[in-house]
Amino acid sequence: MTNPSPEFSRPPDRDPAATAESDRAVPADRGLKLRSAEFRKGREPGWRELDELVSRAERRGIASLSADEAQRLPLLYRSAMSSLAVARAVALDRNLLLYLENLALRAYLTVYGPRTGVLENLEEFFRRGFPRSVRALRRHMALVFGALLVGVAAGYLLVRADLNNFHLLVPEYLAGGRGPGSSRADLLEGELFAPWPGFLHTFVVFANALFRHNALVGLLSFGLGFAFGVPTLILFVSNGLTLGAFVALHAAHGLTVDFLGWLAVHGVTEILALVLCGAAGLAVAEKILFPGPLTRLESLAVHGRRAAGVAAGAVGLFFVAGVLEGGFRQWIDNTPGRFAFALVTALAWLAYFGLSGREKGHGRHP
């Protein structure tokens, strides 16, 4: 597209960003017909500066602009938009209108459009946005974890009182043949220290099935937050009942420590992911119940994105947990080694969520 050429020898030294106010002072209904040369006078330097900044950003990215240029870019854009509105009102020549329309569109995409690609956005999310969002949900995480512990305690006490209660609390598909009739040898050889099934079954078949099941449960706990959070808490109490029943079953055979070590290999990551999904659901429920000065829909739109980001990030943790549960749990064939592995995993997650995204100068996050 051909840029309008200047029809003056030297433009006045005038800040183009300041012309927005003067443009508004030109009423369309007065029928004032400014000649193109007069209209460009004092404005064209700003257009050319904006064109140069936008062209550079298009070629090299927005990061190629200096701090001063980045601050000036939206001012020049608003000035160009104001000039475009006046140019349309006073019916200036078509070439000038086309030039301004094209410049305004390019500038809009530069100022307000996405500035990074998919990979860069993912990197930004996991390096800064995700851990920051998780730290903002500390209260919700504590509440969800408390509901889980209540369920664990209740399930443990019920099954310790009567082993037959195990089947009342644990669905058959989760029991996997375990129950009051299981002997100590059955639990040791068929579960806790069962032979490693091989790479294909471990990391392809079993880990994939575990990932899909756990992610479904986690996303369900998040989605139930839209029902004011009560179903989310009930779901965690229910999961706790199941876990407590398993602990009691193994405790009845003197295998409490071995079972907890077996569980800890993947449980640290899996339970963390579940808690994150539940906490995100409670955060949504809180903003629906207590929207503050916003309407409920506005509050949900503002805060729901961060909560959904936490749930999406938790899916990544479920993938890690599936790999750990499917393979590494049986690969490590002794209880002290399992506890050591779980401790390293817990410290790694603590460092990631506690320290990542705290560096200054990076304000972007979901």
pLDDT tens digits for range 40-62: 877 889 999 999 999 998 888 77
Looking at residue 91, its pLDDT comes to 64
d(CA 344, CA 342): 5
- Shared-domain flag, residues 252 and 211: yes
Nearest to 278 by CA among 241, 239, 323: 239
Q: Tell which wins on pLDDT, 63 or 199.
A: 63
Residue 328: predicted pLDDT: 81
- Overall average pLDDT of the 233-245 stretch: 97
Query: Is 312 a member of any domain?
Result: yes
- Say yes or no: 191 and 241 in one domain: yes
Does residue 362 lie in a domain region?
no
The answer to the question of residue 4 being in a domain is no
Q: Are residues 180 and 136 in the same domain?
A: yes
| Residue 3 falls inside a structural domain | no
Q: pLDDT exceeding 90 applies to what percent of the chain?
A: 50
pLDDT greater at residue 303 or residue 267: 267
244 and 99 housed in the same domain: no
Same domain? 144 vs 180: yes
Q: Is residue 11 part of a domain?
A: no
Same domain, 58 and 186: no
Residue 335 has pLDDT above 70, yes or no: yes
- Considering only residues 336 and 1, tell me which one the structure prediction assigns the higher pLDDT: 336
Residue 8 domain flag: no
Residues 230 and 338 grouped into a single domain = yes
Final residue before a domain boundary, out of 63, 94, 112: 112
Regarding whether 198 and 244 lie in a shared domain, the answer is: yes
Q: In the prediction, which pLDDT does 70 show?
A: 84
Q: Which of 42-46, 108-112, 294-298 has the highest mean pLDDT?
A: 42-46
Asked if 218 and 340 sit in the same domain, the reply is: yes
Higher pLDDT among residues 17 and 63, named by residue? 63
* Residue 303 pLDDT greater than 90, yes or no: no
Phi/psi at 277 (5° precision): -65, -45
Q: Given this model, what pLDDT does residue 53 score?
A: 92
pLDDT at 314: 96
**Domain final position from 112, 145, 165:** 112
First to last CA, the chain: 38
197 vs 28, which has greater pLDDT?
A: 197
Judgement on whether residues 291 and 311 belong to the same structural domain of the protein: yes
- Decide which of 112, 140, 173 is a domain's last residue: 112
Residues 9-30: what's their mean pLDDT? Answer: 45
Residues 144 and 251 in one domain: yes
Per mean pLDDT, which range of 31-40, 90-99, 180-189, 205-214 is the poorest?
31-40
**347: domain range?**
122-355
Q: CB of 46 within 8 A of CB of 16?
A: yes
- The per-residue pLDDT for 18 is 47
| pTM of the predicted protein model | 0.69
Nearest to 107 by CA among 134, 70, 136, 135: 70
365 occurs within a structural domain: no
What does the pLDDT read at residue 32? 40
Q: How many domains does one find in the chain?
A: 2
Q: Do 187 and 238 share a structural domain? A: yes
